Structure 1
Amino acid sequence: MDRDDGARAWQERRPVTTLDTPGARLQPLHDVRGIYAELRRRGLLDPLRALQRPSAFKSLVALGFDWACILAAWALVLWAPLHLALLTVPLAVLLMGARQRALGNLLHEAGHKMLCGSRGLNDHLADLAVGIPTLSPVRCYRAKHLKHHAHLGVAESDPDFIHAEEDLQGTAWSLFARHFFDRGMFLSNLCGNWGSLSARERVAAAVWWALLLGALALAAGPAGALVFAVLWIVARMTVFHGITVFREISDHVGLQPGSVLGFTRNSPHKPVLSFFLHPHENNYHLTHHLAPTVPFHRLRAAHKIFMQVPEYAAAHQCDSYFSGRRSVIACWVRGCLRWHRGGKSAAEAEA
């Protein structure tokens, strides 16, 4: 059987469904089953399974690096000469907001119990380092995020579903602006899951911030602690919010709901841009949906394994962020060239 015949047979497999939530449309998972059948046929399942081991050490290094960058951004503003403030403050906000997003990606890892092998340690570490200070305890995040995986692309059930055909007729930047200025998304990115926090979690957040700001006040005075608080909030409102909107759109918007392969894209791995837009290998989003038990530091290796499956290789694999027809933003909207399964535009595919 040649590649074209194999792909056709794979696409024509009878869909199977796993969701049984009353009132929800069942999500076809035939593409996932097909991918794993092909992995098994090629002898790639064992190498993939070998990647399903979280590393507490690498998670601690990642958490430490992100917080070190955040504190470095604060120190840059605090101790740089005042006449450089027009340069240092924007740089600090950019760096702090980017690492706030990176911490959010590590909270995502904890939601899948992939920070470390022990679930108890996984959750406590995630809450202490990320969940409590960002008002998003891992229990709240996990409950919401696992629904996204289970109900991917089902508008009524997927809590992260922001794909709307009426938003896809303009430009990529009008789509970005539409979500960036969305009040609900802004408040969610600024306030986390505040409305879902228990009284105990709210007290924990207040104590956490009191301890941190108290320590910073001891180190740099009350004004220094105030500078950190202002930088944190401004970064959260601007850079963190903007990166999160970009990431949310890039994961699924503009694609075709109904399957994992058809409704999920991988963004490119670009050392500088990925540091800001997709830290901790978060660009491999299709890989993650197919293998959510692979930790962030092994997603690139998992992607290389999946790339040996023709159907995965032919899926939405972007090679740049902003330029070219295979860029991330090129397939946010409908009026652009599309390459999925043959490289035709939407109009050409319908003709």
Structure 2
Amino acid sequence: MRHDWTQPLPREQIRPFLVKSDLAGWRMLAFNWGLVAACFGLVMWRANPLTVGAALIVLGGRQLGLGILMHEAAHRSLFKTARLNEWAGQWLCAAPMFVELRIYRQYHFTHHRQAGTDADPDLPNYEHYPVSRASLRRKLLRDITGRSGLRAFGALMILYASADQRSGYSYRSADQADEARRLSAGTLLRNCWRCVLANAAMLAICAAAGHAFVYLLWPTAWLTTYMLYSRIRNVAEHGALPGTREPDIWRNTRTVLASWWERLTVAPNYVNYHFEHHLLPAVPAWQLPRFHRWLREQGAYQHGAPLEHGYLQVLKRMTASGRATSRPRQ
């Protein structure tokens, strides 16, 4: 019997999807860092435009992947214990990505409570879509050339130096003039010393291997391909939907069925199952595909949950010509 979606999810049926696994957490971390190491190793072996380009394509996806694992740790679902979530989430996920887990958690939980409303700190990342094709091309060009990344890095420095971190990681600029009056070098140091230390360790490892310059791949990917993938991922989750500016997750949150190359770039670590995540945030990432299948069996997508078949279709939704409602294909 299919679930009646006017009623809460039955606890006894969803309990298996809430199970956490240290093995799964370490496996995802090992896969992400293994690909990072492979990218660095490829350029150390032979540095040329082809290997550097390939490394930047993959590294941007792995940086987003570490961001998703940090997100898991923020929800305390990457590992079984709170201590391991905090340590691994901060040092193996957040700090290499220039993020402070504590600040991110505060911001992200506000997003869950306020998605689709003016109080959502993530709103600037998705509220203005769809846009014209020309506008989208300009945005993507700013991403891949590093202009978006430089702006985002500047916003991060203001955030970390500010007495108020409630704006989170939306890279909004509207409040920066007010915040500039309350910036402090001491606050900046307290909020980003872990980021500096983690990246210094990566530079030291490259130097010990005799190729210190290869570390530059990391900030370059962060400024370019990571920004590109992040934009597409952000809009795929909540943008260009009929209910984007509504608090109803059945209208403002989208799941995307991703191919292997999309999972390597814009949708790492099961982040494409975003409706499932908002419906039940306690489900660990590795459980989301199974939870998605159960929801389909229970009729969630026939009931109206937004579903897209691939990120190329999402790109069409990001333009004014692709405004049609996301609907499942039966």
- TM-score scaled by length of structure 1: 0.75
Match of 2:238 among 252, 266, 289: 252
2:73 matches 1:110: yes
Deviation of 1:49 after TM superposition, in Å, equals 1.9
CA contact (8 A) 2:100 2:192 kept: no
Q: How does 1:218-229 map to 2 (within 5 A)?
A: 218=208, 220-221=209-210, 224-228=211-215
Pick closer, same or farther for the CA change 1:340–1:225 going to 2, 3 Å: closer
Tell me which residue corresponds to 1:135.
98
Tell me which residue corresponds to 1:26.
none
Q: Which has the larger radius of gyration?
A: 1
Tell me which residue corresponds to 2:34.
68
CA contact (8 A) 1:74 1:227 kept: yes
CA contact (8 A) 2:206 2:214 kept: no
Tell me which residue corresponds to 1:321.
311
SS at match of 2:198: helix
Q: Deviations over 1:289-324 (max 9, x none)?
A: 0010000000011111211343533321111322xx
Pick closer, same or farther for the CA change 1:201–1:336 going to 2, 3 Å: closer
Pick closer, same or farther for the CA change 1:192–1:68 going to 2, 3 Å: farther
Q: How does 1:69-84 map to 2 (within 5 A)?
A: 69-80=35-46
The residue type equivalent to 2:16 in the other structure is A
* Whole-Å separation in 1 of the counterparts to 2:57 and 2:233: 16
SS at match of 1:37: coil
Q: Deviations over 1:190-220 (max 9, x none)?
A: 46844444534433333333333223322x2
Structure 2: runs of 5+ lacking an equivalent: 161-186
Pick closer, same or farther for the CA change 1:169–1:71 going to 2, 3 Å: closer
How many residues align? The count is 294
* Whole-Å separation in 2 of the counterparts to 1:178 and 1:275: 22
Deviation of 1:149 after TM superposition, in Å, equals 0.5
Tell me which residue corresponds to 2:132.
170
SS at match of 2:80: coil
Q: How does 1:116-127 map to 2 (within 5 A)?
A: 116-127=79-90
Tell me which residue corresponds to 1:277.
266
* Whole-Å separation in 2 of the counterparts to 1:285 and 1:176: 25
Match of 2:7 among 37, 58, 78: 37
Q: CA RMSD in A?
A: 2.8
Q: Which has the higher contact order (CA 8 A, sep 6+)?
A: 2
CA contact (8 A) 2:149 2:222 kept: no
* Whole-Å separation in 2 of the counterparts to 1:303 and 1:176: 32
Q: How does 1:165-244 map to 2 (within 5 A)?
A: 167-171=129-133, 174-175=135-136, 177-178=138-139, 181=142, 186-187=149-150, 189-190=152-153, 193-197=156-160, 198=187, 199-218=189-208, 220-221=209-210, 224-228=211-215, 230-244=216-230
- TM-score scaled by length of structure 2: 0.80
CA contact (8 A) 1:55 1:117 kept: yes
CA contact (8 A) 1:189 1:236 kept: no
Deviation of 1:58 after TM superposition, in Å, equals 1.2
Tell me which residue corresponds to 1:160.
122
* Whole-Å separation in 1 of the counterparts to 2:35 and 2:69: 15
CA contact (8 A) 2:131 2:319 kept: yes
SS at match of 1:335: helix
How much identity, in percent, do the aligned residues show?
26
Deviation of 1:330 after TM superposition, in Å, equals 3.2
* Whole-Å separation in 1 of the counterparts to 2:154 and 2:292: 33
Deviation of 1:164 after TM superposition, in Å, equals 4.0
Deviation of 1:70 after TM superposition, in Å, equals 1.1
Tell me which residue corresponds to 2:286.
297
Structure 1: runs of 5+ lacking an equivalent: 7-33, 344-351
